[in-house]
């Protein structure tokens, strides 16, 4: 983009805008790095959520079939407790599957692309401002 930086008449104004733009670019870079780390973590963890969910559902169904017919006592209490833990595990796996599903991964990749484009635009903007500031400094030294 062709930025209209010629309207700036002070090197200090240029420096102030450069500092602000640099901070914003740094924020974008931190956000991009976080999303990239998230993608990398998922790809290396290799968890297969659909099969983990199916296995947990099967364990819950089996427990729900057998626990009601068990006699009251510590063994039944233990199985009921384990069933509750399995239900919590199922909720956790379902939530993780949503966070790391194909659509979520594509959304993260798109977010990274947008941030990289914004960072490239910021670099162009900062370069234009830096050139204008240097021009102003050179002209004030020549005068």
Q: How do residues 124-143 score in pLDDT, each as one tens digit? A: 999 999 999 999 999 988 76
CA distance 136 to 142: 10
Contact 129, 18 (CB under 8 A): yes
CA distance 19 to 102: 38
Nearest alpha carbon to residue 27 among 119, 139, 131: 119
Single pTM value for the model: 0.65
Residue-wise pLDDT tens digits, 38-95: 888 766 555 677 888 999 999 999 988 888 888 989 988 998 999 999 999 999 988 8
CA distance 115 to 32: 6
């Amino acid at each position: 983009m062709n930025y209209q930086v010629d309207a700036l008449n002070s090197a200090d104004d240029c420096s102030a805008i450069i500092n602000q733009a640099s901070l914003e670019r740094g924020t974008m870079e931190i956000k991009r790095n976080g999303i990239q780390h998230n993608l990398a973590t998922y790809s290396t963890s290799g968890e297969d959520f659909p099969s983990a969910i199916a296995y947990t559902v099967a364990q819950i169904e089996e427990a729900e079939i057998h626990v009601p017919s068990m006699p009251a006592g510590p063994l039944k209490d233990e199985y009921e407790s384990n069933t509750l833990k399995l239900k919590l595990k199922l909720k956790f796996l379902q939530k993780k599957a949503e966070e790391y599903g194909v659509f979520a991964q594509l959304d993260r990749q798109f977010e990274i692309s947008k941030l990289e484009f914004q960072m490239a635009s910021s670099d162009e903007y900062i370069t234009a401002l830096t050139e204008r500031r240097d021009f102003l400094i050179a002209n004030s030294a020549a005068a």
